[in-house]
């Protein structure tokens, strides 16, 4: 299946050094180990509500679930930011902290649908980029599909520079089980 991907790149030296201001009543912080299952649900929900992923949604949610799990393994090169409303996780962003990674925004900013259109995806992206800058990265990359909300709205608005990208994913065959 041919899928038009885009990779956005940010020059992290141009990203403000101050952490983005999180409006009340939300809280932004690093995820804790016992939150992995809730984060996987949040990521899955966010991807399931973006029509840009519809044709590969089942595969993508499974693949993202594995990537979320990696962020909680011992000695992982990933970290995860969560956005909370009270005690409920309403957003998450898994980050790869390896300088040479082709995609630092492993999940991208994922926000539950009922919290959409409030600027929280942009807030989570700014916090993700700030976090990557804080650990010393000079550039960050995020890979997405052309027709997704991230590619159309969030990444360009935050100063990401797009380029066409080839991402090799092995999709399971569509044979009947």
Which domains can be identified in the chain, with CATH numbers? 5-165 (3.40.630.30)
Cα angle 70, 8, 64; round to 5: 25
**Which comes out higher in pLDDT, residue 122 or 167?**
122
Number of Cβ atoms within 10 Å of the Cβ of 17: 9
Provide the strand spans (E) within 129-174.
Answer: 139-145, 161-165
Tell me: the pLDDT tens digits for 47-97?
888 877 777 778 888 888 888 988 899 888 899 999 999 999 999 999 999
> What is the percent of the chain with per-residue pLDDT over 90, rounded to a whole number?
63
> What is the percent of the chain with per-residue pLDDT over 70, rounded to a whole number?
93
Reported confidence tier of residue 146, pLDDT bands at 50, 70, 90: confident
What mean pLDDT do residues 129-148 have?
94
User: Could you tell me the pTM of the whole model?
Assistant: 0.89
Look at residue 131 in the predicted model and tell me its pLDDT.
95
Rounded Cα gap, residues 168 and 1, in angstroms: 10
Reported confidence tier of residue 170, pLDDT bands at 50, 70, 90: low
Q: Could you give the C-alpha distances from 89 to 30, 53, 60, 139, 158, in angstroms and in order?
A: 12, 22, 21, 28, 23
Provide the strand spans (E) within 52-147.
Answer: 78-85, 88-96, 110-111, 139-145
For residues 78 and 107, the answer to whether their CB atoms sit within 8 Å is no
Look at residue 121 in the predicted model and tell me its pLDDT.
94
**Which comes out higher in pLDDT, residue 176 or 39?**
39
How far is C-alpha 137 from the geometric centre of its chain's CA atoms?
17
For residue 25, cis peptide bond before it (omega within 30 degrees of 0): yes
Query: 98 Cβ partners below 8 Å, 6+ apart?
Result: 77, 104
3-state secondary structure of 148: coil
Question: Does 177 have pLDDT greater than 80?
Answer: no
Tell me: the pLDDT tens digits for 14-61?
987 778 899 999 999 999 999 999 999 999 999 888 877 777 778 888
How far is C-alpha 3 from the geometric centre of its chain's CA atoms?
19
């Amino acid at each position: 299946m041919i899928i038009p991907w885009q990779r956005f790149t940010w020059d992290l030296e141009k990203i403000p050094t101050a952490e983005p201001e999180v409006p009340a009543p939300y809280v932004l912080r690093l995820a804790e180990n016992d939150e992995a299952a809730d984060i996987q649900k949040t990521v899955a929900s966010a991807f399931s509500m973006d029509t840009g992923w519809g044709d590969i949604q089942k595969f993508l949610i499974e693949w993202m679930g594995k990537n979320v799990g990696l962020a909680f393994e011992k000695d992982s090169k990933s970290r995860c930011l969560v956005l909370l409303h009270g005690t409920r996780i309403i957003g998450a962003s898994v980050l790869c902290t390896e300088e040479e990674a082709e995609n630092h925004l492993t999940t991208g900013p994922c926000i539950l649908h009922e919290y959409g259109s409030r600027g929280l995806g942009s807030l989570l992206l700014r916090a993700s980029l700030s976090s990557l800058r804080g650990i010393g990265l000079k550039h960050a990359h995020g890979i997405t599909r052309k027709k997704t909300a991230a590619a159309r709205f969030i990444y360009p608005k935050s100063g990401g520079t797009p380029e066409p990208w080839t991402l090799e994913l092995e999709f399971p065959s569509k044979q009947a089980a």
